[in-house]
Amino acid sequence: MKNTEDLEQGRRRESIHRLEDFDYVLPAERIAQEPLSDRLSSRLLIASRKTDALTDGRFSQITDFFEPGDVLVINDSRVFPARLEGVKSTGGKVELLLVEPVDAEERRWRVLCRPHLKEGQTLTIGNATVHCKGRSAAGYFEVEFEGMSGRDLARESGEMPLPPYIKRKPDASDRERYQTVYSRQEGSIAAPTAGLHFTPDLLERIRLMGVECVKVTLHVGYGTFQMVRDIDRHDMHAERFELSEPSAKSINRAIQEKKRVWAVGTTSARVLETCVQGGRVIAGAGETNLFIVPPFEFEAVGGLITNFHLPKSTLLMLVAAFMGRDRMRRAYDHAVTSGYRFYSYGDAMIVF
């Protein structure tokens, strides 16, 4: 398994890009505020690295690009209702976003809160009391739950943590729609959005083509929404991942047979490139802070299915590393001018 600290140092030595290389202007009306009723009806921008061609299609056409023996890698992490609303003793309301547990019992959590809390303040949420323990790492606050664990309280009283660029309150439909149909392992505070377009019927069609679907897990943290301020000094928020032995075996079979390994989303891509070593992926679990930015040599990922990402984000930089910065800029310019829907509930792109 790759040492991400070594990769980070190498990246810093070789970085040749400016932050402006990963910026673009997006009209507000292009940001999808609602999901489409039919997951398969999303548009699909088809980007070839061989010919530089850009073609407009529909996500239902995704099977046109798969061949027997290929492997489709999906992230089975499940979003939990991590947004909580508490009441201070003074009656004021505070919104908490659970970011990550600090202890095994999940009584202590790092959170984002609005407005900020002070050390010693308490909140009431349902039947639980929440004690603020002060500021934590990376601008987070640390709180302790009394009465039940933070995760149990979220399941009981929480809301789905829709991204900040969706300017509405989450409703009941988001509990299902802001999840992939194959999500199983609870732990993300943001959906691995490229997977939102797949349906059970589509996955079955893909399997019947002779394409093997394998799962990895990467629990998406709040860092996915953070803009990079300095490429050479950016510290990636570590995220928990797992790659099982059966999944690694299937991926290595495809690599050995020179079949394409498709990463569904940047999360799956990061797991694969974290775990690849000497042209093979190594099963394991842990945390990854791998920051993929040009230049980067992909050893496992042969094709990428992805949504459109925020300017100056690490996700956009990964896409640029895979397809080339200039191709990425042309693709995004095309998507903006052609009316594609952007971000979590938006349209998709396939790069191969």
DSSP 67-105: -TT-EEEEE-EEE---EEEEEETTS-EEEEEEEEESSTT
pLDDT at position 11: 43
- Asked whether the predicted pLDDT for residue 42 surpasses 50, the reply is yes
Residue 10 reports pLDDT greater than 70: no
Average pLDDT over residues 170-185: 97
Pair of tokens at residue 317: 């930089």
pLDDT tier at 222, thresholds 50, 70, 90: confident
Average pLDDT over the chain reads 94
pLDDT band at 316 (very low <50, low <70, confident <90, very high): very high
What pLDDT score was predicted for residue 138?
A: 76
- Rounded average pLDDT over 265-286: 98
Note the pLDDT tens digit of each residue in 76-125: 999 999 999 999 999 999 999 999 999 999 999 999 999 999 999 999 99
Residue % of the chain over a pLDDT of 70: 96
What is the reported pLDDT for 177?
A: 98
Separation in Å, CA 257 to CA 92, 168, 276, 292, 320: 61, 47, 16, 26, 27
Give the count of beta carbons closer than 10 Å to the beta carbon of residue 41: 12
Positions of CATH 2.40.10.240 in the chain: 83-157
Residue 207 scores a pLDDT above 90: yes
* Predicted pLDDT of residue 9: 46
Closest CA to 255 of 276, 226, 285, 225: 276
Q: Could you tell me the pLDDT band of residue 231, with boundaries at 50, 70 and 90?
A: very high
Q: Which residues contact 122 (CB under 8 A, 6 or more apart)?
A: 88, 89, 129, 130, 131, 132
Sorting pLDDT into bands at 50, 70 and 90, what band is 133? Answer: very high
At the top level of CATH, which class does the domain 4-79+174-351 belong to? alpha beta
Q: Where in the chain is the domain with CATH 3.40.1780.10?
A: 4-79+174-351
Separation between Cα atoms, residue 118 and residue 209, nearest integer Å: 57
**Strand pairing of 71-75 and 212-218?**
parallel
Confidence band of 43 (pLDDT split at 50, 70, 90): very high
Q: Reply yes or no on whether the pLDDT at 16 is more than 90.
A: no
Q: Kind of pairing, strands 122-125 and 128-135?
A: antiparallel
Taking alpha carbons only, the member of 44, 3, 36, 48 closest to residue 324 is 48
Residue 13's pLDDT is 35
What is the structure's pLDDT at 32?
98
Share of the chain above pLDDT 90, in %: 90
- Give the relative orientation of helices 314-323 and 265-275 as an angle to the nearest 10 degrees: 70
Domain 83-157 annotated CATH 2.40.10.240: yes
pLDDT for position 5 = 57
- Cis amide bond preceding 115, omega within 30: yes
Are 294 and 329 in contact, with CB atoms under 8 Å apart?
no
